[in-house]
């Protein structure tokens, strides 16, 4: 039995769990049988910078990430171009190509930004059903401004909670994103920026059609859809892995 301080979970092609164990950073693929029992106690996961991940300097408890570590985390550069403390990399991040994409969950359409070569990977990490690479821009500032304009003009979501994604499982619907793409192609303001030949694509996931919701993991891993991890133990079950971030847990 091992005590693990869970940092994060990524689905991608292979589900992977990131956690602290005895002060060491672990990244382990989740395949075969896994047993994880959360304690109900959370501690700060620390922060990532240009060199890697660092533990919380004050060992804060009772939260997944304390305000200090959230402020120091390089994630703010990727999500909102906040270069406070990372001024030396601003030029590097701003002067590289990005893509704007649309994804859908049920009837909900979200607009996001990622590095151009990561579009399909980013979509799978989120567990989206349908997606389209919408626009390609040559620098970060223009890309994020365009994203904000699209969200304002068309009501695209900036984010969708994992609890909502869980409720929308089995309700895949490509019509809303197809309609959004058609409107954008015809738009006088945005049409010229749409990628030539842009089309909606659908991702497939190895997940069961019926399942029970669980708060722990005890069984054989089936697959993942974004932060939703599926395993089998008598019947198919699903865990919202996002809720385990910061959790002190036992891995058996």
Write down the pLDDT at residue 226: 95
Considering Cα of 124, then 126, then 129, then 132, what sign does the dihedral take? negative
**CA-to-CA separations, 99 to 79, 116, 118, 182, 213, in angstroms, rounded:** 14, 5, 9, 18, 34
Write down the pLDDT at residue 13: 77
3-class state of residue 11 by DSSP: coil
Write down the pLDDT at residue 102: 98
Write down the pLDDT at residue 5: 97
Q: Which residue bears the tokens 């300097």?
A: 57
Lookup: tokens for 121 = 């990977």
Evaluate if pTM is beyond 0.85: yes
Q: Which residues pair with 47 in a beta bridge?
A: 54
Name the residue among 31, 30, 57 with its Cα closest to residue 43: 57
- pLDDT by position in tens, the chain (length 252): 899 999 999 987 789 999 999 999 999 999 999 999 999 999 999 999 999 999 999 999 999 999 999 999 999 998 888 999 999 989 888 899 999 999 999 999 999 999 999 999 999 999 999 999 999 999 999 999 999 999 999 999 999 999 999 999 989 999 999 999 999 999 999 999 999 999 999 999 988 989 999 999 999 999 999 999 999 999 999 999 999 999 999 998
Write down the pLDDT at residue 220: 96
Spell out the domain ranges in the chain.
Answer: 2-90+214-251, 96-202
């Amino acid at each position: 039995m091992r005590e693990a301080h869970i940092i994060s979970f990524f689905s991608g092609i292979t589900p992977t769990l990131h956690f602290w164990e005895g002060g060491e950073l672990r990244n382990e693929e989740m395949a075969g049988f896994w047993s994880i029992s959360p304690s109900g106690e959370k501690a700060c996961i620390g922060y990532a910078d240009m060199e890697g991940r660092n533990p919380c300097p004050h060992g804060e408890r009772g939260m997944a990430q304390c305000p200090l570590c959230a402020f120091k985390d390089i994630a703010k550069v990727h999500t909102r171009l906040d270069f406070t403390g990372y001024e030396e990399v601003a030029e590097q991040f701003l002067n590289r190509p990005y893509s704007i994409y649309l994804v859908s969950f049920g009837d909900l359409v979200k607009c996001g930004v990622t590095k151009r070569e990561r579009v399909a990977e980013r979509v799978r990490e989120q567990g989206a059903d349908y997606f389209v690479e919408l626009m390609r821009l040559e620098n970060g500032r223009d890309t994020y401004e365009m994203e904000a304009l699209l969200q304002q003009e068309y009501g695209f979501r900036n984010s969708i909670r994992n609890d909502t994604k869980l409720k929308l499982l089995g309700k895949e619907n490509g019509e809303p994103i197809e309609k959004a793409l058609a409107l954008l192609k015809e738009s006088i303001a945005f049409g010229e920026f749409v990628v030539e030949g842009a089309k909606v694509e659908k991702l497939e996931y190895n997940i069961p059609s019926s399942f029970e919701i669980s708060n722990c993991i005890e069984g054989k891993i089936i697959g993942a859809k974004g932060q939703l991890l599926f395993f089998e133990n008598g019947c198919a079950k699903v865990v919202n892995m996002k809720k385990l971030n910061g959790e002190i847990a036992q891995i058996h």
